[in-house]
Amino acid sequence: MPYDPTKLADWQIAAEAEKKMPTPEEWRERLGLDKEETISHGRICKLDFLRLVDRLKERPDGKYIEVTAITPTPLGEGKTTTSLGLIEGLAKRGANVGGCIRQPSAGPTFNIKGSAAGGGNALLIPMTEFSLGLTGDIDNITNAHNLGMVALTSRMQHEFNYTDEQLAKRNLRRLDIDPRQVQMKWALDFCAQAMRNIVIGMGGKMDGFLMQSGFQISVSSELMAILSIAYDLPDLRRRIGDITIAYDKRGNSVTCDDLEVGGAMTAWMRSTINPTLCCTIEYQPVMVHAGPFANIAVGQSSIIGDRVGLKMFDYHVTESGFGADIGFEKFWNVKSRLSGLKPHVSVLVATIRALKMHGGGPRVVPGRPLPKEYTEENLELVENGIGNLLHHLHTIRKSGINPVVCINVFPTDSLEEIAMVRRYTEQAGARCAVSEHWGKGGEGALELADAVIEASEEPGEFDYLYYLDMPLRQRVERIAQEVYGADGVNWSAEAAAKAERFEADSKYLDYQTMMVKTHLSLSHDPALKGVPKGWVLPIRDILLFSGAKFLCPMAGAISLMPGTSSDPAFRRIDVDTESGEVQGLF
């Protein structure tokens, strides 16, 4: 019997469901795992990636299902909730199904966004562990990242204080690091705007090298991006060693391996390659692995998680961050290319409220009540906003992946509004499913499950939007025009010079193109809703991540350290001192 999410908060639903959650021993029996293939962490466990993929390597892959969305409101449109509801619905149809989602950062969890555990009857458990550190992957990434900064700053201090001869006696060569060209900051997994810009090394000559520095949120670390795309442990080690942590005074890269810290950083991260096994509140298995930014990084759960899931399950569900213009595009052209895995279906999540926003509805502000236009029937706003859905639908079709539009139903949506979205979707030749997983769990997602099963049986002709022999600027032009709907691209002088240099050097040929822009519009301007026309994408700079092998053309300013709002979620989180249960998570 589903819980009533109109009367129970998510943390209360989770607490009830967790009373019957399978133990690691029960998961081993249910999933046919050997004892050494699980690593217990209290009431949850990790899956030993290396052992599992070795034992299951001859097993054929299951059906690969990706979940994306239309351009969201600032509140998000329920991709994680839909992913979990779809898993529940497929299980109700008797399918062997599981999935993999991203791990949430403590920054958003304690700030505005909340825990990203889904919601209602499409919720991930154990919710407290999921929301507050899980099995330590983000802590390990933070420590590995900061170890790299320790290696850099201590080396700078020693090179400043010692002669070449003195360095040689200590078995060190002078790297001649340029303090103005340090690429990394320190890592902290909170939204701490006060730490964005700091000065370090104040004091005497034994107190470090005096220079400007700062902090970035841990999930923005290149190490997190690398974890999400690493194919295996050797690939992880190689990429960590190749991270450019700074440049020398001649403009040459100074990598983690140059600092002889790449191995030790990998040692901190050795256990992060193992996905954590959690589940829905209806007890279907869901792995949690990696949690990279969706703007400067790939915004997906890991390739490792998908490799495991496709061997373990007949249907494996994964989710892409943000809307289809960012998350799906990177899934299509980056993650799928790196993994070699070909998806069968993409679920495009749409909500009535997002369509109303794109149709000219009032501004949606997190933490404030929704204007009445979003809670009362307004067919004109819905119809005016349909173009955004159809644009993303067209993008998915360009990949050759079969699309299914999921209307993620809210209690305030009217039958006429839902019928209108279905009519436009079906007129465009796509499957459309109405899903009430939030209120009804798997029973509410049966229509969606059926549509996904049907779509997964149809042969697709998957292909990339571009190939890696295409020059960087042509790739960006194609993404801007074919995915965003821009008329073209305008390159700043600095960005154009960098692009020319990257294009002339063959070592960058296999670098992935990782676009950086707002998720709140198809364009670079978050204020432009719907399907903007007559605009040009401005590229002002290109970031280089040499370990992840990303070239990141920037169509807007990006902060690697978000700020905490005036009404953060931590104000409502507490602990029941009798039971020890965490309350107030959402």
Q: Are 425 and 389 in contact (CB under 8 A)?
A: yes
The Cβ of residue 34 has, within 10 Å, a number of other Cβ atoms equal to 11
Tokens of 143: 């420590």
Q: What does 85-136 look like in DSSP terms, one character per residue?
A: HHHHHHHHTT--EEEEEPPPPHHHHTSSS----EETTEEEESHHHHHTTTTS
Tell me which amino acid residue 444 is.
G
Residue 117, φ and ψ in degrees, nearest 5: -95, 15
- Mean pLDDT on 118-129: 96
Report the topology of domain 138-264. Domain 2, N(10)-formyltetrahydrofolate synthetase (3.30.1510)
**Mean pLDDT across 236-245:** 98
- The CA R_g of the chain, rounded to the nearest whole Å, is 24
pLDDT for residue 404: 98
Q: Name 288's bridge partners.
A: 101, 276
- Give the three-state DSSP class for 199: strand
Q: Where exactly are the structural domains of the chain?
A: 41-136+272-456, 138-264, 472-554
pTM for the full predicted model: 0.95
- Catalytic residue numbers? 79, 81, 102, 113, 294, 322, 410, 438
Q: DSSP secondary-structure letter at 334?
A: I
Tell me what the mean pLDDT of segment 209-218 comes to: 95
Residue 121 confidence (pLDDT) above 80: yes
- What pLDDT is recorded for position 233? 96
Residue bearing the bigger pLDDT, 551 or 586:
551
Give the tens place of pLDDT for each residue, 511-564. 999 999 999 999 999 999 999 999 999 999 999 999 999 999 999 777 889 999
Tokens 């209120």 belong to residue: 439
Nearest to 174 by CA among 262, 264, 259: 259
Per the CB < 8 A criterion, the answer to whether 184 and 151 are in contact is no
pLDDT, mean over the chain: 95
Question: Looking at residue 218, what is its pLDDT?
Answer: 96
Identify the weakest region by mean pLDDT among 297-306, 501-510, 553-562: 553-562
Place of tokens 């364009």: 523
Torsion of CA 59, 26, 439, 521, to 10 degrees: -50
More confident residue, 576 or 252: 252
| Token pair in block for residue 569 | 């979620």
pLDDT of 295 over the 80 cut: no
- 152-211 confidence digits (pLDDT tens): 999 999 999 999 999 999 999 999 999 999 999 999 999 999 999 999 999 988 899 999
Query: Mean pLDDT over residues 361-384, rounded?
Result: 94
pLDDT attached to residue 366: 84
Residue 473 in tokens: 């600027």
What is the band of 289 on the pLDDT scale with cuts at 50, 70, 90? very high
Q: Which of 200-204, 343-347, 419-423 has the lowest mean pLDDT?
A: 200-204
Q: Where are the alpha helices (DSSP H) in 446-540?
A: 446-456, 472-479, 493-504
pLDDT of 585 strictly over 90? no
| Helix-strand-coil split of the chain, %, nearest 5 | 40, 20, 40
1 pLDDT band, cuts 50/70/90, is low
Task: Return the half-sphere exposure (C-beta side, CA atoms, 13 A cut-off) of residue 511.
Answer: 28
Q: Which two tokens stand for residue 256?
A: 């983690």
Rounded (10°) angle between helices 79-92 and 446-456: 80
Dist CA 154 CA 259 (whole Å): 10
Stated as kind and residue range, the H or E segment containing 394 is helix 379-398
Element containing residue 181 per DSSP (H, E): strand 177-182
% of the chain beyond a pLDDT of 90: 92
Backbone region of residue 325 per phi and psi (left: phi > 0; alpha: psi in -120 to 50; beta: other values): alpha
> Would the pLDDT of 8 be above 90?
yes
- Averaged pLDDT for residues 285-312: 94
> Would you say how long the chain is, in residues?
586
Residue 580 gets the label, from left (phi > 0), alpha (psi -120 to 50) or beta, of left
Write out pLDDT tens, residues 474-495. 999 999 999 999 999 999 999 9
CATH architecture of 41-136+272-456: 3-Layer(aba) Sandwich (3.40)
Residue 18 has pLDDT above 80, yes or no: yes
User: Which stretches within 270-359 are classed as H helix?
Assistant: 303-312, 329-330, 336-339, 352-358
Q: Sign of torsion, CA 461 464 470 474?
A: positive
Most distant pair of Cα atoms in the chain: their distance = 80
Q: How confident is the model at residue 4 (pLDDT cuts 50, 70, 90)?
A: very high
Tens digit of pLDDT for each residue in 332-343?
A: 999 999 999 999
Average pLDDT (417-422) is 98
Structural fold of domain 472-554 = Formyltetrahydrofolate synthetase; domain 3 (3.10.410)
